[in-house]
Structure 1
Amino acid sequence: MTHDAIILGAGAAGLMCAATTGQRGRRVLLVDHAPEVGRKIVISGGGRCNFTNVDAAPDRYISANPHFAKSALGRYTAADFIALVDAHGIAWHEKTLGQLFCDGSARQIVAMLLDECAKGQVDLALGHAAEVEHDGIGFRVTIGERIATAPKLVIATGGPSIPKLGATDFAYRLARRFGLKLVEPRPALVPLTLGPDEALFRELSGVATEVVATAAGPGFREAALFTHRGLSGPAILQASSYWRHGEAVAIDFAPGRSPDWLVEAKRSNPRAGIRRMLDLPDRLSEALAAKLGIAAELGNVPDRTLRDAAARLKAWPFRPNGTEGYAKAEVTVGGISTAELSSRTMEVKKMPGLHAIGEAVDVTGWLGGYNFQWAWASGWATGQAI
């Protein structure tokens, strides 16, 4: 059967691209090896789908080319997707930091996208792996016993994060076959693991507190959670996208405090111990005080020692020995190099007719709806170009 476009991957980007393309009068085939569409959408946001962020802007994305995302994000904004959600009567609310969630279920977003695909008379082929061939003119895709051809092919199969939902590295394998460069993929928005030398902190499993976490990028002020394997929580997940093996993660356990705050505390409350002044969960305060080696009342501690302690608390270095990998990663950093693509159409420069969108591409957003907004924007941009 002949189509105008075949889209591989029925996740957020693929569904958006299919709906946009189909509603422009193109004959679209949307293919996925999973038996149902939008699996990551369904589990996202605790089942309520953090579907966008009102603060979505290019500086909230990681890419070898930080300018690449500007075109798509500027032409299809969070407000555009919100308008679509509103048009379908889906109730939503804003949590912290610009994050928007469904009041009800993430399945409402999937149903909305399927409805939009139906308006574009999109043909679905689910539950079978796809085999792709390119004859120099168009693309031939075998899905089970079915064969489809099209002059346009869109890679929207995402990255390998959350393999239990069927995620694979198919996009990268296909890209290599077509001679496309990749930026080395790695797990992102993922918990970090600590080695035996950090056993004291691993024993704090279950303790959470607000910190600023920094790893070779911006600092993120949110909650950090100690686990039996290391560090997690929103602040850590954010920092993990910037972290590289061998590097340290700096944790500010006293966000907003001045460099002299312990000296000032000594003046106002000389009989207090440092554990009391830390204003952190008891077990964490005890662990930090033990590491600092300050057991005396503040009045008996030299100012210089207190300033050194305050400086350490502002940038406490942890050296993770790894991450919890793709199994626990929400997304993937890296992927198909943006140098291969048009930023306006997502089309491969050296192979007209081939496009790549969403998580398959080297554009990765912060935690909090940014990656969905990239999926919507890149899918829409390609849909407008086909």
Structure 2
Amino acid sequence: MNIPAKTSHFDVIVIGAGAAGMMCAAQAGQRGRKVLILDHAAKLAEKIRISGGGRCNFTNLDVTVAHYLSRNPQFCRSALARFTPAHFLDMMARYAIPWHEREHGQLFCDDSAQDIIDMLRSECENGQVSWAMPCKLESVSAGSAAGERFILDTSHGRFSCESLVIATGGLSIPKIGASPLGYRIAEQFGLPVVAPKPALVPLTLAPEELEIYKELAGMAFDAVAECGAGRFRENLLFTHRGLSGPVILQASSYWQARDYGGDDGGSQVTVNLFPAEDVRQWLIERARSKTLLGNLLTERLPKRFAHAWCDQRDWNKPTNQFNAKELDAIADALSGWTITPNGTLGYAKAEVTLGGVDTRELSSKTMEARKVAGLYFVGEVMDVTGHLGGYNFQWAWASGHAAGQAV
């Protein structure tokens, strides 16, 4: 993908050809702006391609501000209201892309994530967007001539533009090219960056706790997990390193956020092993049973986990041998199993990055830096992080659309 010969000045240059970058470039181009989109990667939108098991969980039917974390929690409201899941579905309908709904309102392509990539590329072509891929960005500097606010030196030569959009993503999944480029550009122009951390990522357990559950790798069951302000109900999965599954990935954003906005985070994750009923009443009804507690719990939990959990607490004896106070303690433990993770599997296994360019320095309407005219940020590079389930793609579409309408 190359730029037209002898072209060096553009109205808009977008750095990053991912979800947010292509959406922004397409919108700007279709408004008549002369747009260049450049990316260091040889393959287009790898993060879209691998998402959702290759079918791209491209949005969610239920999108609200409450589904996002940020130190500026209301920042995402405006863009999300102006470009909704319905708007994205309308775009897909124009391209006849089939899709389906799964649990919790998650929407996926019927066929392949490539359908989304092809659609966005076509939208860019409809706006006569130029491409430079692969293209190494060597430097960005402030311009001096009218209409040339920014000068970019690249492996394809020097370019200038009036508006510069940073759509470089976060640090998650480095094997497909994630880098801190966007943060460096923000800092170069005096914008603060909220320290990035892995999010939607498996949690690891300390060796002594891992020893107890090491034989359970691959086991999954329904649970509620809470951490700070986050509360979720989905499957919990044991791994060789600790805990994963959708419910843990969701909680991990808040665990990582234990210093992120004060009361919203926590260093522990609390798991309710009986998410669907009153565990105290359930135990009272079985208090006279001669069955081992571990065996009794297999009515609701996988057998190996039930016994390992009871053995750890020395509770694997006939249920009728527990007194009322002990049954209360068991009920509390079942509804509030407290886990203290000792880390995460890092950016390599994280689906997104928590933190990023501080949105308090950006316009919520246009995504433009308040103190640097013509400099915009879209997508994951910003301090806006969605829950698992299509929310981060919806933020990419919404923020990219907002900037694309403004540049």
1:134 partner amino acid: A
For residue 56 of structure 1, report the CA deviation from its aligned partner.
Answer: 1.1
Say whether 1:176 aligns with 2:184.
Answer: no
For residue 218 of structure 1, report the CA deviation from its aligned partner.
Answer: 2.1
Say whether 1:353 aligns with 2:374.
Answer: yes
Deviates more, 1:123-132 or 1:69-78: 123-132
* 1:210-221 pair list within 5 angstroms: 210-221=222-233
Q: 1:225 aligns with which of 227, 237, 256?
A: 237
C-alpha separation between the residues in 2 aligned to 1:291 and 1:312? 12
Contact 2:226 2:271 in 1 (8 A): yes
Say whether 1:272 aligns with 2:283.
Answer: no
For residue 292 of structure 1, report the CA deviation from its aligned partner.
Answer: 2.9
Say whether 1:205 aligns with 2:217.
Answer: yes
For residue 289 of structure 1, report the CA deviation from its aligned partner.
Answer: 1.2
2:65 partner amino acid: P
| Residue in structure 1 matched with residue 315 of structure 2 by the alignment | 294
C-alpha separation between the residues in 2 aligned to 1:203 and 1:32? 44
| Residue in structure 2 matched with residue 48 of structure 1 by the alignment | 55
| Residue in structure 2 matched with residue 73 of structure 1 by the alignment | 80
Contact 1:262 1:306 in 2 (8 A): no
| Residue in structure 2 matched with residue 378 of structure 1 by the alignment | 399
Q: 2:150 aligns with which of 139, 158, 164?
A: 139
Unaligned segments of structure 1, at least 5 residues? none
Secondary structure at the residue paired with 1:220?
Answer: strand
Contact 1:125 1:143 in 2 (8 A): no
* Overall identity of the aligned pairs, in %: 49
Contact 1:263 1:303 in 2 (8 A): no
Deviates more, 1:42-51 or 1:135-144: 135-144
| Residue in structure 1 matched with residue 263 of structure 2 by the alignment | none
Secondary structure at the residue paired with 2:217?
Answer: coil
2:275 partner amino acid: P
Q: 1:91 aligns with which of 85, 89, 98?
A: 98
C-alpha separation between the residues in 2 aligned to 1:277 and 1:50? 38
Q: 2:325 aligns with which of 304, 322, 327?
A: 304
| Residue in structure 2 matched with residue 339 of structure 1 by the alignment | 360
C-alpha separation between the residues in 1 aligned to 2:317 and 2:294? 10
Q: 1:119 aligns with which of 118, 126, 138?
A: 126
Secondary structure at the residue paired with 1:159?
Answer: coil
Task: Figure out how many residues of one structure are paired with residues of the other and give that number.
Answer: 385
| Residue in structure 1 matched with residue 261 of structure 2 by the alignment | none
In the superposition, the TM-score normalised over structure 2's length comes to 0.92
**Residues 1:55 and 1:80: Cα distance change in structure 2 (over 3 Å):** same
Contact 2:59 2:394 in 1 (8 A): yes
Unaligned segments of structure 2, at least 5 residues? 1-7, 259-265
C-alpha separation between the residues in 2 aligned to 1:345 and 1:317? 43
2:267 partner amino acid: E
